Amino acid sequence: MPSVAFATYQTSPRLTDDDELVAKELRRAGLTVTPTVWDAPDVDWSRFDCVVIRSTWDYHLRPGAFEKWVRSFEGAGRRLWNPPEAVLENMNKRYLAVLARKGVNVVPTRYLAASDEVRLQALLEDCGWEEVVVKPAVSASALGTWRTSLASARADQARFAEQARGQDLLVQPYLPEIAAGGEWSLIFFGGRYSHAVLKKPAPGDFRVQRHHGGHATAAEPGPALVAQAAAILSGIGHDLLYARLDGVERDGRFMLMEAELIEPYLWIGLAKAAARRFAEAIMERL
């Protein structure tokens, strides 16, 4: 009987409600599914036919330990999904610059290595940006993400400098489309489009995550947006079990904000047959 591990984390070691829907489909097909904390000691990962990274939602707090865990699957066949090389590339948001060089329509991004020397006001003036979002290059759930502007840059310099001193950062222009129309998340399983949601922030905020007051609703993007997102996914260049592409629509084009390949929430419960599609993609890789 094939066995699948869904990698979770210590604070919430069980399957999420969404992942339980997928597990039921797999069990119905005769597989065993075991939630397993990614950094639990003495786990023999080799006993699983497939390890699927799911709710490892503390990885960004211990990136070194997580990278070591991911690398332990290198050279072990296709047992970890997404594959180690894709996960390692995706951990640091510098991958956005790589995609931009490939011609992907990525939100303009200034990548900053950890430094004491960057002046926020000078950076915004150089880029010609009035309002921006600052975020860590290794992060999740909008942790450490905040908004500033050219008008407030001088007052925000101390906060910016403290953050820049200890970690790599991204600075991106604020996208008004997020508040006006919402942020798209397009979800793919095995390279095939499955479903999408539209996420909107709470009034007065710019963050779409639920714990910041945002909310998501099932929505269907137009065929052009789906095709553009599929082309981006193809250009990433890995055989991916799952992917979530986040972005906004601007002038009829999909502008990529993030390609979530590690532990994205996938809104399985909002889309009919999404659990079955995800389960089938897993079984194709056994």
Domain at 133, CATH number: 3.30.1490.20
Tally the domains of the chain: 3
Indicate if the pLDDT at residue 146 is higher than 70. Answer: yes
Between CA 206 and CA 177 the distance in angstroms is 10
* Same domain? 101 vs 218: yes
Closest CA relative to residue 136, chosen from 60, 218, 84: 60
Say if residues 51 and 80 touch (Cβ distance below 8 Å): yes
| pLDDT for the residue numbered 201 | 74
Indicate if the pLDDT at residue 94 is higher than 70. Answer: yes
Domain boundary among 90, 120, 147: 90
First to last CA, the chain: 11
Domain boundary among 173, 202, 218: 173
* Same domain? 214 vs 100: yes
Between CA 267 and CA 264 the distance in angstroms is 9
| pLDDT for the residue numbered 210 | 60
Average confidence (pLDDT) over 161-175: 91
In a domain? residue 286: no
CA 49, 53, 54: angle at the middle one, nearest 5? 125
Indicate if the pLDDT at residue 211 is higher than 90. Answer: no
| pLDDT for the residue numbered 107 | 95
In a domain? residue 156: yes
Average pLDDT of the chain to the nearest whole number: 92
**Helix 274-284 to helix 17-28 angle, to the nearest 10 degrees?**
60
Q: How confident is the model at residue 283 (pLDDT cuts 50, 70, 90)?
A: very high
Indicate if the pLDDT at residue 215 is higher than 80. Answer: no
Partners of 245 in the β-ladder: 186, 259
In a domain? residue 268: no
Average confidence (pLDDT) over 184-206: 87
| pLDDT for the residue numbered 88 | 96
* Same domain? 47 vs 181: no
Please give the residue that has the higher pLDDT: either 203 or 222.
222
* Same domain? 100 vs 187: yes
* Same domain? 82 vs 217: no
Residue 56, Cβ density class (10 Å: 0-12 exposed, 13-18 middle, ≥19 buried): buried
* Same domain? 222 vs 99: yes
Burial 212-249 (b: 16+ CB within 10 A, else e): eebebeeeebeeebbebbbebbeebebebbbbbbbbbb
| pLDDT for the residue numbered 228 | 97
In a domain? residue 30: yes
* Same domain? 182 vs 101: yes
pLDDT tens digits for 222-277? 999 999 999 999 999 899 999 999 999 999 999 999 999 999 999 999 999 999 99
CB atoms within 10 A of CB 95: 18
* Same domain? 46 vs 72: yes
| pLDDT for the residue numbered 105 | 95
* Same domain? 121 vs 234: no
Residue 257's domain is classified under what CATH number? Answer: 3.30.470.20
Partners of 173 in the β-ladder: 132
In a domain? residue 133: yes
In a domain? residue 83: yes
Which uninterrupted H or E stretch holds 102? none
Average confidence (pLDDT) over 111-120: 86
In a domain? residue 274: no
Indicate if the pLDDT at residue 8 is higher than 90. Answer: yes
Residue 11's domain is classified under what CATH number? Answer: 3.40.50.20
- Segments forming the whole domain that contains residue 160: 110-173
* Same domain? 138 vs 253: no
* Same domain? 219 vs 117: no
In a domain? residue 273: no
**Helix 153-166 to helix 120-127 angle, to the nearest 10 degrees?**
100
* Same domain? 21 vs 137: no
| pLDDT for the residue numbered 189 | 98
Closest CA relative to residue 279, chosen from 26, 83, 5, 1: 26
Average confidence (pLDDT) over 46-52: 96
| pLDDT for the residue numbered 209 | 61
Average confidence (pLDDT) over 185-212: 80
pLDDT tens digits for 66-76? 999 999 999 86
Indicate if the pLDDT at residue 284 is higher than 60. Answer: yes
Q: Is the pTM of this model over 0.85?
A: yes
Partners of 135 in the β-ladder: 170
Say if residues 178 and 126 touch (Cβ distance below 8 Å): no
